[in-house]
A and B are shown apart, each in its own frame.
Chain A
Amino acid sequence: METKAVLDIQGYTKSYGGDKKAADNVCLSVEAGDIYGFIGHNGAGKSTTIRAVVGVLDFTEGEIYIDGHSVKDDSMACKQITAYIPDNPDLYENLTGIQYLNFIADVFNIDEATRQQRIAKYGDMFEITEALGDLISSYSHGMKQKVAIISALIHEPKLMVLDEPFVGLDPKASFTLKQIMHEMCENGAAVFFSTHVLDVAEKLCNKIAIIKQGKIIATGTMEELTKGASLEEVFLEVEDEK
């Protein structure tokens, strides 16, 4: 079944064999131009959902479509148009930053001129160009996060999935990332990210889903959800209610 949404999650359920389900009948839809925030407590099921979306985690129940392609049946087509930034990016520490970015560009088959232009652009934006010749093992957490973000942007994805992207970033880099997210969405891409920082979600996102114990307990546009109140108030209220 094909849909027009960039990301369409239908009844996704994941159990790790314990008594509880990590994700239970999760349904949500991210359309082109959306900056979609995914919020919930620690262990609520955010990362489990995100890892399934990007094709890392196996699942048996439900379906996930990216731009109409099934993650289960056509994962390669999905990965070609998706970028994923995990919360704690495990990059190859003994490569230099530029070698890592070149590796990703090779994998996405990006021509030399384009990759050079994009690496220079994003490198300058995140103020990391000068450090790209150093080994990643010498980078701070924030610098690694910046390299991971540049590697995600290098192939101009249709869908960018981020797990806690603002952790470890300096204020300027956070601002740059938000700016890039807006630019991407203006150009018809979509962003789906998890965060604990409700202020950021409130200012940045046009849509929100709240997950609790694996179940989506509230979803909709920011206006529909907040109705004039703050996102923090709404979050605490629905968390207590359900």
Chain B
Amino acid sequence: MRSKYIVLLRTLLKSSSLWHVRKYSKDKKKRAKSVGGFIGLAMLYLMVFAYSFFGCWGFAAMEMTDVIPMMCALTISMIAFIFTFIKTNGYLLNFKEYDMLMALPFTPKDVAACKFGYMYLKTLPWYLCVSLPMMVAYGIFAGAGFLVYPVWLILAFFVPVIPMLAASFLGFVIAKASSGFKKKNIVQTLLTVIIVLVALFSRYIIEAIIRHNQVENVVEQARNAMTQAGRIYLPAGWFANAVIAAGKLQLRWISNSLLLVGGTVLLFEVVFLFVGKNYRQINSALKSHAAKSNYKVSGMKKRSVLNAIAFKEWRRLTASTTYFVNGAMGEILAAILGVAVLIVGLDRVIAIVTQNAPIPQGILNPAIPLILYFCIGMMATTACSPSLEGKNYWIVQSLPITKKTLYQGKMLFQMYLAVPFMVFGIICMGISAHVGILELVLYLVLGVVLCAFSTTWGCVCGIKYMRLDWDNEVEVIKQGTAVMIYLFPNMFVTMGLVVLVVWLGTVVNPTIVVLALIAIAVILSALCYNRVMRFAKK
């Protein structure tokens, strides 16, 4: 049975390996794309590696070297939990080749465990890119003994497993709960969104619980928060204790390592015992749909071609939990931010996010549209919707519509999705910040133009890196080259712009800064739109 497990795991890895495509494909374009994929991935790994290392350097400069192991465990755990949870539906459940695998002599537990193992191995390089530089940084800055390296290295493979198991279990529970409903997709999406939001805001929730309003300096607060988090989330504590003890050559590292490894193995068995028993039932429910069979043709509504395409995109977004959680999460966050600001005030929200950093009132006002754009622009459906056509691409190809119309329809949908949330958020924040009418109008214009930029830039990435031969939509929604290329520069540039705008606002008239930003965003949007139109002519 064990060898069958390895055969399946090996096959799953081969089936999604870029190296495999490069080796066996006769299509030159495909082979070149796989090499491009390698290079892109290597660059991203390098970026994460560097970010982690320099982050630790910063910690060392603040004399917080001792919290690096805990920081590492908590960071990896958080990333592993959220990413696994979002991917459960599609990777572990409701995947394309479910029928083929389940008809083979594998137990449901084997299939589920193999799929989990596959997901773990696929994401392991990311976790190692966070963990290894932190190990090196800790070794250098803490002057730890040699033992810290092997202990860290081995335990780094176990740290992401428990949060991944917890996320998978939660995903299964949600799927099982929602499978009892007729509108299971809606229930599943709703529960998933709630869990992701809780996970995203968990830092603030935990801090609110453990802070007790004490006034301390930021460094001491961070150190305390880290220690407290380790007490709440035990595996992170086990990892940190094992590594720190190994660095000091204390035997305590053995007991803490055993707790982490043993706990991981035990949890794995418990989770997959439950999953194995319910696997077929959950998948059967998720893969089937109740039929009313009582439809009568009436009240048909005519739409323009562009709106028809936009409506098709809306249905695609809401039909998939994975797509919705990724594609609309930014809009949901923007709405929550807007409401939160209205209720507790902009200054209070800024104080929570910046951990009471001394920020003068009003200084952040010019950055309001950018703050909202950081949420909304996090993902544009246009970055993955061309690839999501997948094997259905023939439908739009065979219809009497030009590529130009198709891309315009996709962009129109993204604007329909993003603009209302952007406008809502800006109005809420504007009211709370008591900005003047002229400023508010300028912020609204900037917000809408930023939405246009995210839409067109997403479309450029989506078309340029269109991939139709995916097996699982997660491959293009979460891991696609188009999404990566859209996401990372967009996020970093936005973060940089927030700082730049705030700083410029103190030097020159903030209105001029906003006007300049509008002009830049208009030019960039026009350039991207033009590029999309050129793609459409090809």
Contact = CB atoms under 8 A, between A and B. Distances in A.
Interface in A47-92: 48, 51, 54-59, 75-76, 79-80, 82, 84, 86, 89-92
B59 to A, nearest CB: 41
Interface stretch (A98-106, A180-188, A194-202, A234-242): A98-106
- Name A's interface SS: loop
B62 interface: no
A202 B300 CA distance: 42
Interface in A105-144: 106-109, 133-135, 137-138
Q: Lowest 9 A-B CB distances belong to which pairs? A: A18-B290, A92-B15, A58-B284, A84-B103, A79-B105, A106-B7, A58-B281, A54-B103, A17-B290
A41 interface: no
Contacts of A54: 99, 102-103
Given A55-B103, A56-B103, A92-B14, 9 more contacts: A17-B290, A56-B98, A59-B284, A92-B11, A92-B12, A92-B471, A103-B8, A137-B25, A138-B26
A223 interface: no
Given A55-B102, A92-B471, A93-B15, A103 B24 contact: no
A90 B290 contact: no
Given A58-B281, A76-B107, A137-B469, A107 B7 contact: yes
B357 interface: no
Contacts of B26: 134-135, 138
A58 B280 contact: yes
Contacts of A172: none
Contacts of A19: 292-294
A79 B288 contact: no
B252 interface: no
B106 interface: yes
A138 B7 CA distance: 23
A69 to B, nearest CB: 12
Nearest to B184: A17
A107 B4 contact: yes
A135 B290 contact: no
B110 to A, nearest CB: 10
A57 B98 CA distance: 10
Contacts, number: 113
A93 B469 contact: yes
B17 interface: yes
A99 B15 CA distance: 10
B7 A94 contact: no
A95 interface: yes
Nearest to A136: B15
17 contacts: A16-B290, A17-B182, A18-B293, A19-B293, A19-B294, A20-B293, A54-B103, A55-B102, A75-B107, A82-B103, A84-B99, A92-B11, A93-B469, A94-B20, A95-B14, A99-B11, A138-B26
Contacts of B4: 106-107, 109
Nearest to B180: A17
Nearest to B293: A20
* Residue with the greatest number of chain B CB neighbours at <10 A, chosen from A104, A106, A108: A106
Contacts of B293: 18-20
Contacts of B99: 51, 54, 56, 84, 86, 90
A96 interface: yes
A75 B97 CA distance: 18
Contacts of B3: 106
Interface string B1-45: 001100110011011110011001111000000000000000000
Interface string A149-167: 0000000000000000000
B100 A91 contact: yes
A107 B24 contact: no
Nearest to A103: B11
Contacts of B98: 56
Contacts of A86: 99-100
A223 B3 CA distance: 48
A33 B107 CA distance: 29
Interface residues of A, number: 42
B96 interface: yes
A18 B11 contact: no
Contacts of A43: 291
Contacts of B285: 17, 58
Contacts of B290: 16-18
Contacts of B17: 94
B103 A79 contact: yes
Nearest to B291: A18
A19 B280 CA distance: 22
Contacts of A89: 100
Given A76-B107, A79-B103, A91-B100, A135 B24 contact: yes
Contacts of A109: 4
A135 B291 contact: no
B104 interface: yes
B97 A92 contact: yes
Given A89-B100, A103-B11, A16 B291 contact: yes
Given A135-B24, A138-B27, A104 B15 contact: no
B289 interface: yes
B100 A18 contact: no
A90 B100 contact: yes
Contacts of A18: 182, 290-293
Nearest to A91: B100
Interface string A22-62: 10000000000000000000010000100100111111000
Contacts of A48: 288
A86 B285 CA distance: 19
Contacts of A104: 104
Nearest to B105: A79
Contacts of A17: 180, 182, 285, 290
A193 B535 CA distance: 46
A33 to B, nearest CB: 23
Given A89-B100, A94-B21, A108 B105 contact: yes
B105 A95 contact: no
Nearest to A83: B103
Contacts of A95: 11, 14-15, 20
B365 to A, nearest CB: 51
B24 A134 contact: yes
Given A79-B103, A86-B100, A93-B15, A16 B21 contact: no
A68 B99 CA distance: 23
A146 to B, nearest CB: 15
B37 to A, nearest CB: 12
A95 B15 CA distance: 5
Interface in B243-282: 280-281
A75 B103 CA distance: 9
A51 B102 CA distance: 10
A85 B104 CA distance: 11
Contacts of B283: 58
* Residue with the greatest number of chain B CB neighbours at <10 A, chosen from A19, A82, A92: A92
A96 B97 CA distance: 16
B16 A76 contact: no
Interface string B60-103: 00000000000000000000000000000000000011111011
